[in-house]
């Protein structure tokens, strides 16, 4: 077995454009090959990687990822090209173009990580539905609770003392007496 736990792989799976994906640099690190070599093999075998299997990130997406996970800077000393990401369906393909035992073993672990994530999401889908239902009902319940609170406050609060104004015709002499 490889010394890479499935949890480590799961942390390298991101949600981009509504799909679970892995960065080319993360896959290359797991396969223990340079990112340049991985991308080179992908270009040579482009027919195995249609757009729904792999796509290149836009500049904004790359900047967003860079700020979230501290990827290397662009330009000298860093990445010169926008990264590629591989969808869940494409993670098996790099092992076929890299032709190494490590690639085959890592492929198995990566697929297991995607499966485990899918199972976790399916398990918690019921919980997510219940939370959504509570969120939908919350504004109505909050208004009801506020109304009940106001009524209880009026019933429990001591009556305020009111100063009574004198009744009748008020003259200067009568106000001095008060």
Print the domain residue range for 57: 6-128
- For residue 102, is it within any domain? yes
Residues 6+ apart with CB under 8 A from 132: none
pLDDT of amino acid 67: 66
- For residue 70, is it within any domain? yes
d(CA 99, CA 85): 20
pLDDT of amino acid 74: 53
Could you tell me the CATH number of the domain that includes residue 106? 3.10.260
31 closest CA partner among 117, 111, 94, 115: 94
- For residue 145, is it within any domain? no
- For residue 138, is it within any domain? no
What would the DSSP string read from start to end of 88-99? TTTTTHHHHHH-
Q: What is the pTM of this model?
A: 0.56
Give the pLDDT confidence of 116-132 residue by residue, as tens digits: 887 877 777 777 777 77
d(CA 100, CA 96): 8
Retrieve residue 53's tokens. Answer: 């299997």
- pLDDT tens series, the chain, 178 aa: 456 777 788 888 888 888 888 898 888 888 888 989 888 888 888 888 888 888 888 888 888 777 666 555 555 555 677 888 888 877 777 777 777 777 778 878 888 888 888 787 777 777 777 777 877 777 777 777 778 878 777 777 666 666 777 677 777 766 665 5
Retrieve residue 115's tokens. Answer: 């499966």
The greatest distance separating any two alpha carbons of the chain, rounded to the nearest whole angstrom, comes to 111
- For residue 30, is it within any domain? yes
Quick check: 93 and 48 in contact, CB under 8 A?
A: yes
CA angle 114, 119, 123 (to 5 degrees): 150
Retrieve residue 113's tokens. Answer: 């990580």
- For residue 144, is it within any domain? no
- For residue 141, is it within any domain? no
Q: How many domains does the chain have?
A: 1
- For residue 13, is it within any domain? yes
Retrieve residue 55's tokens. Answer: 């796509």
The residues pairing with 19 across neighbouring beta strands, listed in sequence order, are 16
């Amino acid at each position: 077995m490889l010394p890479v736990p499935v949890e480590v792989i799961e942390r390298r799976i991101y949600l981009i454009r509504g799909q679970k994906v892995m960065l080319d640099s993360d896959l290359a690190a797991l396969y223990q090959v340079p990112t340049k070599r991985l991308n080179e093999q992908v270009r040579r075998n482009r027919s195995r990687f249609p757009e729904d299997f792999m796509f290149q990130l836009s500049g904004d997406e790359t900047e967003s990822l860079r700020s979230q996970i501290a990827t290397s800077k662009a330009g000298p000393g860093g990445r010169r090209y926008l990264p590629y990401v591989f969808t869940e369906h494409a993670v098996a393909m790099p092992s076929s173009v890299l032709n190494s035992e490590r690639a085959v073993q890592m492929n198995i672990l990566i697929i297991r990580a995607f499966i485990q994530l899918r199972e976790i999401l399916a398990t918690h889908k019921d919980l997510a539905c219940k939370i959504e239902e509570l969120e939908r009902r919350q504004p109505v319940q909050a208004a009801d609770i506020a109304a009940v609170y106001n009524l209880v406050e009026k019933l429990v609060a001591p009556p305020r003392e009111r100063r009574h104004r004198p009744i009748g015709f008020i003259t200067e002499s009568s106000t001095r007496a008060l």
